[in-house]
Chains A and B, each alone.
Chain A
Amino acid sequence: MSTTERRFRFLRRRGADGESWHAVQLARHQDRPYTLDYLNRICDDFVELHGDRGEGDDPAIVAGIGSFRGRSVAFVGHQKGRDLKERTYRNFGMASPEGYRKAMRVFELAGRLGFPVVTLIDTPGAAPGVGAETRGQSGAIARSQLMLMSLPVPVVACVIGEGSSGGALAIGIADRVLMQQNAIYTVISPEGCAAILWKDAGEAKRAAAALRPTADACLELGVVDSVVAEPSGGAHRDHGKSAELLADAVSAELDFLGSLPAIERRRLRRQKFSRMGAFAE
């Protein structure tokens, strides 16, 4: 590599570095619309369903049936809180096994009644904790993915804020995966990555740059199918406009997916994820 190339590459990466951290901040902005903000705007009616029918009800996941542009749709999304009290109640959007089992209950219902599924991803990760583990966190995340993978109905997922780790992917298996312009999608939070690889959570900015969690990067890596535009300055600037842009994108995907036979959809869904990755042989 020539000196000029190196220099160019360095500058390009440095530009992208700042972009990554900016996206992290926007994705976590406290005024950014959350799942219920969107559902209240895009559904003509929405009944939230509660509980996993075994252990409890997890407020970090919202699930229910909504009427969306003339059809019934099962919605499942992570839910964060805006003030301290609600944030604590929602466990900062970190779902427990009960949350994923509630999601699965609604996926199953949608599959049986023939409603499409729309998931909204916005979590710093699945809830860590002794309780979450003893109640089967890994198995819940794995089975939620498996259930989405095998559903006979159309599934659209959209990353609307933070998409971090298996806690995000648990509801991220879909025929079409969308991502809002300023959302992030990553294997681990930048802080978690920094704590492990740099032994210092304070290096989160560097970790964010290295992880390349931006919508553009995810599109380039083939992890998302399309990027949903946000109002100028970010989704937090205009919830109404942001909801409209999201609803238009989701609706277009549902129209397209509805035209495919169920068996074909399931085959294509598996194929889509089977092709993700970068290796040489």
Chain B
Amino acid sequence: MVANLRVCAHCGYHFPVTARERIVQLTDDGSWSEVARDLISIDPLEFVDSKPYPERLDAAERATGLHDAMLVGGATIGEMPVALAVMDFTFLGGSMGSVVGEKFWRAAELSLDRRMPLVSVSSSGGARMQEGVLALMQMAKTVAAVDELREAAVPYISVMAHPTTGGVAASFAALGDVTIAEPGALLSFSGPRVVKQTTGETPPDDFGLAESNLRHGHIDLVVPRPELRDTVARVVALLSGGQPYRRTPLLPDLGAQRAVGRVISGARKAILGRRNEHVDD
């Protein structure tokens, strides 16, 4: 399963991937260098629900080995440099608080400093309620970052993984120059349960799904995970205005392949295994 990028070989179901796994899957081996690694959340509101917020943060940190729900840094994809901001749903539901907002801002700064495209991969339930109105303002902060990129004519590519909802769906994730979603990902402002509870409507089975968003014109592409790296590389190359991206020999022509479930060759398995080891260090 790990070797197949956590996509079911039989039905094509995309299992969630952590931020670290995502970075391994998307970037060239050994190219990732993290920035803003030491940013940590504080508790500006002294927020307590059934547990104090700092306890939730501690538990999430122990469970994931992450300081917060996003990793940012520089990397190359198909030998092209990019700034990368990758969310991790396993850290408090990928919720966006002050650290996620600041990290996205730093990723955009990295992008601007080196004039390389920004690629974000979102997976989030929305704003982090425990940071109250400051969490809401992180939407504005990420929008400000996107505005900087636009003014400087630096391309921004937004990849949306399951789920991308609420405050993240309604801020930076929606603002990519090119927006790409994974198959079956829920992309909506309100989730189906909220819609049912507040309006009494029964949402259709495909409510908010990537495919439905594509049909309604809200996103550019739905791309299965095995094709994602190549697709991002092609888009990065095209938006940068240079030579088209040429697939590396390691990656066969995935564009022609429609079935998601595919047995990856032994050689590639070994490479992915090695990448995993590298990132886990």
Q: Report Cα–Cα, A104/B121, bound state, in Å.
A: 27
Q: What are the interface flags for B136-173 relative to A under an 8 Å C-beta threshold, 1 for contact and 0 otherwise?
A: 11111101111110110000000000000011011111
Q: Report Cα–Cα, A212/B207, bound state, in Å.
A: 33
User: At the interface, yes or no: A11 with Cβ under 8 Å from chain B?
Assistant: no
B contact residues, total (Cβ < 8 Å) = 68
**Contacts A188-B129, A280-B42 known; A139 to B218 CB distance under 8 Å?**
yes
Chain-B contact segment, one of A60-68, A108-116, A141-149, A236-244: A141-149
Which of these, B98, B127, B189, B217, contacts A141 with CB under 8 Å? B189
Do the beta carbons of B42 and A279 come within 8 Å of each other? yes
Which of these, A134, A149, A196, contacts B147 with CB under 8 Å? A149
Do the beta carbons of B133 and A223 come within 8 Å of each other? yes
Q: Which residues of A contact B173 (CB under 8 A)?
A: 138, 142
Q: Which residues of B contact A (CB under 8 A)?
A: 36, 38-42, 44-50, 97-99, 101-102, 105, 127-129, 131-141, 143-148, 150-151, 166-167, 169-175, 187-190, 194-195, 197-199, 201, 203-204, 207-208, 212, 216-218
22 interchain pairs, CB-CB under 8 A: A128-B195, A132-B190, A138-B174, A138-B189, A141-B170, A141-B189, A150-B150, A173-B143, A187-B127, A187-B128, A187-B129, A196-B129, A197-B50, A211-B45, A217-B133, A218-B133, A270-B148, A273-B137, A276-B141, A277-B141, A278-B42, A278-B131
Q: Which residues of B contact A197 (CB under 8 A)?
A: 49-50, 129
Do the beta carbons of B201 and A130 come within 8 Å of each other? yes
**Contacts A274-B105, A278-B44 known; A146 to B147 CB distance under 8 Å?**
yes
Least CB distance from B49 to A in Å reads 4
Do the beta carbons of A223 and B189 come within 8 Å of each other? no
**Which chain A residues numbered 204 to 247 have a C-beta less than 8 Å away from chain B?**
207, 210-213, 217-218, 221, 223
Q: Which residues of A contact B217 (CB under 8 A)?
A: 136
Not counting A142-B171, A166-B136, A277-B137, a sample of 10 additional A-B residue pairs whose C-beta atoms are within 8 angstroms of each other reads: A126-B189, A137-B170, A138-B170, A138-B174, A139-B170, A150-B151, A165-B136, A166-B139, A207-B49, A279-B41
Residue of A137, A142, A197 with most chain B CB atoms under a 10 A cut-off:
A142
**Contacts A139-B174, A146-B147, A197-B50 known; A129 to B195 CB distance under 8 Å?**
yes
Least CB distance from A16 to B in Å reads 10
Q: Which residues of A contact B (CB under 8 A)?
A: 13, 126, 128-130, 132-139, 141-143, 145-146, 149-150, 165-166, 168-170, 172-173, 185-188, 192-193, 195-198, 207, 210-213, 217-218, 221, 223, 266, 269-271, 273-274, 276-281
**Contacts A143-B174, A146-B175, A218-B133 known; A166 to B143 CB distance under 8 Å?**
no
Least CB distance from A193 to B in Å reads 5
Q: Report Cα–Cα, A150/B145, bound state, in Å.
A: 11
Least CB distance from B57 to A in Å reads 11
Q: 5 shortest A-B CB distances, which residue pairs?
A: A277-B98, A128-B190, A142-B174, A278-B44, A138-B169
Least CB distance from A128 to B in Å reads 4
Q: Report Cα–Cα, A143/B170, bound state, in Å.
A: 8
Least CB distance from B104 to A in Å reads 10
Q: Which residues of B contact A279 (CB under 8 A)?
A: 39-42, 98-99, 102
Closest residue on chain A to residue B219 by CB atoms: A139
Do the beta carbons of A274 and B199 come within 8 Å of each other? no
Least CB distance from A178 to B in Å reads 15
Q: Report Cα–Cα, A1/B173, bound state, in Å.
A: 42
**Contacts A193-B129, A276-B134, A279-B99 known; A210 to B47 CB distance under 8 Å?**
yes
Closest residue on chain B to residue A185 by CB atoms: B133
Do the beta carbons of B44 and A221 come within 8 Å of each other? yes
Q: Which residues of A contact B139 (CB under 8 A)?
A: 142, 145, 166, 169
Q: Report Cα–Cα, A210/B52, bound state, in Å.
A: 11
Residue of B45, B102, B128, B132 with most chain A CB atoms under a 10 A cut-off:
B132
Do the beta carbons of A186 and B199 come within 8 Å of each other? no
Least CB distance from B87 to A in Å reads 15
Q: Report Cα–Cα, A186/B135, bound state, in Å.
A: 9
Q: Which residues of B contact A135 (CB under 8 A)?
A: 216
Q: Report Cα–Cα, A57/B131, bound state, in Å.
A: 34
Closest residue on chain B to residue A187 by CB atoms: B136
**Contacts A149-B144, A218-B133, A273-B137 known; A129 to B201 CB distance under 8 Å?**
yes
Q: Which residues of B contact A130 (CB under 8 A)?
A: 195, 199, 201, 203-204, 207
Q: Which residues of A contact B132 (CB under 8 A)?
A: 186-187, 210-213, 221
Q: Report Cα–Cα, A274/B99, bound state, in Å.
A: 12
Q: Which residues of A contact B148 (CB under 8 A)?
A: 270
Least CB distance from B93 to A in Å reads 10
